[in-house]
Amino acid sequence: MEKNLQNAMNEQIKNELYSAYLYLSMSAYCEEKNLPGIAKWMRVQAKEEIGHAMKFFDFMVDVGAKIELLEIDKPTSGFSSATDIFEKTLEHEKKVTAMINNLVNLAQKAGDNAAIIMLQWFVNEQVEEEKTASQILETLKMIKGEGPALIMLDRKLGKRE
């Protein structure tokens, strides 16, 4: 694997694990605010992000690339509402999409077809991630993030497996 791509994939492993930390931080806030459904949704999201990190890890192992685990930053905390959480979630997922697009560009530049094919899964995943966060955010805006509708949304999101 070309060195720049290898370094960027190591960085992405760290970024995916940071995403898990961020979603756990959001889950903790929701637990404090008695929103157990959103808290559960965020815990499931955190597990998914760990799976993404492992997908990069396993790919790098498979192609014989050098893995270097990097330091993970402390996640953001101090959220103000469920709406704030999903605004930050959408913003974060857009950043991750930009990171994935950068990896695709590096893989194309390196002519690394195996990496390009593996990264296509992430391109598709990011479309889904942004769409889901956006839909939940728009629902929160419609209900003004409070009242009985928030309780109903919380229960709905808590059904995520």
Tens digits of per-residue pLDDT, 80-115? 999 999 999 999 999 999 999 999 999 999 999 999
Q: To which residue do tokens 């690394």 refer?
A: 112
Q: To which residue do tokens 């002519």 refer?
A: 111
Contact criterion met (CB below 8 Å) for 13 and 70: yes
Distance, C-alpha 34 to centroid of its chain: 23
Q: What percent of the chain has pLDDT over 90?
A: 96
93 residue type, one letter: E
Return mean pLDDT, the chain: 97
Given pLDDT bands bounded at 50, 70 and 90, which one contains residue 145?
confident
Q: Is residue 146 over pLDDT 90?
A: no
Residues 6+ apart with CB under 8 A from 16: 49, 50, 52, 53, 56
> What are residue 7's phi and psi, to 5 degrees?
-60, -40
Distance, C-alpha 44 to centroid of its chain: 11
- pTM here is 0.94
Domain 3-157 architecture: Up-down Bundle (1.20)
